[in-house]
Amino acid sequence: MRSSAARTTDSLDSTIDLSGTPVGTASPVMVTGATGYLGSWVTKGLLDAGVTVHAAVRDPQNASKVAHLNRLAEQAPGTLHLFAGDLLRPGSYDQAMEGCSIVIHTASPFIRAVADPQRDLVAPALQGTRNVLAGVERTPSVTRVVLTSSIAAMYGDAVDIRRYPGRIVTETCWNTTSSLSHEPYPYSKTLAEKEAWRLAERQDRWSLVTINPSMILGPSLNSAPTSDSFSTIRMLIDGTTRLGAPRVGISVVDVREVAQAHIAAAFLTEAHGRYITSAEDTDVFALTSTLLPRFGGSLPLPRRAAPRPVVIALAPALGQTRTYIRRNVGHAVRVDASRSRLELGTRYRPAQASMEEMVEQMLARQGKPSSHPVSF
């Protein structure tokens, strides 16, 4: 009998659409953070395309952490090799990088609630990027690096977008308002991406492309994802926001499209610069409302938006500062992802589809019934 982890993977829409991408299989591709939410999908897309993947993970001997990668490799024409990699240890990725022509660096924490932002966010993001790119400098076979950045490197709070041309986020925008004390996660992503560009511009052997996703949604391939996307969605469906969800402006994208964009950026020689990946502009209440048709009868979903003064008052209980709430609730987010559509061939699915599949999987893993039978 197959495990529940296998069942929750088998029935997913697990296709990464690479129909317009000239994927090369002559040399390996290294992926950092390969066991992570996004990294697992990138690894799957490469394996399905017949690529040899050098997957850098914290502990290749941890069977529970790498089991899903081994399972993916068994079902794909590509070949998987596991290597140990530590973001904070210089030279840690050299062995995994040997012979690779492409490095896809996805490893970086996406956790907002941390005890020490410098230690838990900035150091892994910034020092990790430096260590990976130092390894690239020592590896003459590498000619392309794809870095997972974030739309958070383009704006810190939704209110910031009011001063952008046309009040819309584009690849020319940079986050100038986040800091170690206010929104340290966006701050860490901004520092890491700026450092990557600084190092890339000092040489001309390898080229850098960054992918800047909005909030990532959709199912996971690993059974215990640590991305904050899952804790956020869990809070929206477990009754925490039953009396009202905040209208925090956000943009969202499916993890499978973000994976596709990384692979396209890796193999399309003309790809360059920064690429926003985002499917829809929305807000937290509107996003949660997309679940009502399918789950409204079985989950304690919010039926109304929480008034802004109430959200401000309850900010500490929601794990947010009142400054964050004032700068994000009631402010629209508009994002231009046209470059990824036109140059990387990314085709975005509706946010509702991503949300439904994500929640179905979460409920199945918890052993809870949904409004529809789930055949995982």
Element (H, E) at 252: strand 249-254
Report d(CA 213, CA 44) in Å as an integer. Answer: 19
Where would I find the H helices in 150-274?
Answer: 184-200, 228-237, 255-267
Do the beta carbons of residue 203 and residue 137 sit within 8 Å? Answer: yes
**CA 211 and chain centroid, separation:** 10
Task: Clarify whether 65 is annotated catalytic.
Answer: no
From the list 65, 189, 194, 368, the catalytic residue is: 189
Burial profile 212-247: b = 16 or more Cβ within 10 angstroms, e = fewer: bbbbbbbbbbbbebebbbbeebebbbeeebeebbbb
Report d(CA 169, CA 275) in Å as an integer. Answer: 11
Structure tokens at 243: 């009396």
Structure tokens at 205: 């052997």
Structure tokens at 342: 């036109």
Residues 6+ apart with CB under 8 A from 281: 249, 250, 251, 332, 333, 334, 335
Q: Which residues are catalytic?
A: 189
